[in-house]
Chains A and B, each alone.
Chain A
Amino acid sequence: DAGVIQSPRHEVTEMGQEVTLRCKPISGHNSLFWYRQTMMRGLELLIYFNNNVPIDDSGMPEDRFSAKMPNASFSTLKIQPSEPRDSAVYFCASSLAGIGSGETQYFGPGTRLLVL
């Protein structure tokens, strides 16, 4: 299995620019999660999808962040406009979800974002 694939692995951009992070979940998985990791706040859930539908986006910091999952094999996390405080590692994870089960989440390698 290829595992969860994320691109780009590293992104350096200037404040005010649009940033798009991409994720391909493990084939057959029906839940997808976006996390952000910073030194100050640790690992935070931003949003998760089940069967391509956003279920909980309460972790999305503000309107500058948006996420989509147009099909079962692709998701994007977009930041527009980006700010220096958005600098972090962004992880995508996927799992095979079923009602009442605690499915193991498998993580991608992360995207390290630096906003100057």
Chain B
Amino acid sequence: AQTVTQSQPEMSVQEAETVTLSCTYDTSESDYYLFWYKQPPSRQMILVIRQEAYKQQNATENRFSVNFQKAAKSFSLKISDSQLGDAAMYFCAYSTGSARQLTFGSGTQLTVLP
């Protein structure tokens, strides 16, 4: 069974600084996909970034980037120039090419300090 682990229940960062959220996963599959979702207080689940396992290049989306270490099964999210609006619960998620459903980690609550 696939599992996703987020070992940091809470993190905080100063506005304009950089923060990295950790995620590890366990799988025997070779074809899979990794995601970071953001859940602000509104509860809406918002896709932040996506990574295909077959791609060696790390995905980036503006201030958000990932460090994908396939051999280590690690998928961390880096947020640069943190903004107050980045405060949210962040979920790491995994899906395989065949199974399709997402397996979520337990989440990391990010606080951005002014």
**A contact residues vs B (CB 8 Å cutoff):** 31, 33, 42-43, 45, 48, 50, 55-56, 89, 91, 93, 95, 97, 100-107, 109-110, 112
Q: Which residues of A contact B96 (CB under 8 A)?
A: 102
**B contact residues vs A (CB 8 Å cutoff):** 31-33, 35, 37, 42-47, 50, 52, 91, 95-98, 100-102, 104, 106-107
Q: List 25 A-B contacts (CB under 8 A).
A: A31-B100, A33-B102, A42-B104, A43-B91, A43-B104, A45-B101, A45-B102, A48-B101, A50-B100, A55-B100, A91-B45, A93-B45, A95-B100, A100-B98, A101-B97, A102-B31, A102-B32, A102-B95, A102-B97, A104-B47, A105-B47, A106-B47, A107-B37, A109-B42, A109-B43
Q: Which residues of B contact A48 (CB under 8 A)?
A: 100-101
Q: Which residues of B contact A43 (CB under 8 A)?
A: 91, 102, 104
For B37, B45, B95, B96, which residue has the most chain A Cβ atoms within 10 angstroms?
B45
> How many contacts between A and B, using CB within 8 angstroms?
53
Q: Are B100 and A103 in contact (CB under 8 A)?
A: yes
Query: Within the assembled complex, what's the spacing in Å between the Cα atoms of A89 and B39?
Result: 12
A-B pairs, top 3 by smallest CB distance, nearest first, are: A102-B33, A107-B45, A43-B104
Query: Within the assembled complex, what's the spacing in Å between the Cα atoms of A55 and B91?
Result: 25
Q: Which residues of B contact A56 (CB under 8 A)?
A: 101
Q: Which residues of B contact A100 (CB under 8 A)?
A: 31, 97-98
Distance of B104 from chain A, by nearest CB (Å):
4
- Apart from A48-B100, A97-B100, A109-B43, what 15 extra A-B contacts exist at CB < 8 Å? A33-B101, A45-B101, A45-B102, A50-B100, A55-B100, A100-B97, A102-B31, A102-B32, A102-B52, A102-B96, A104-B35, A106-B47, A107-B37, A109-B42, A109-B44
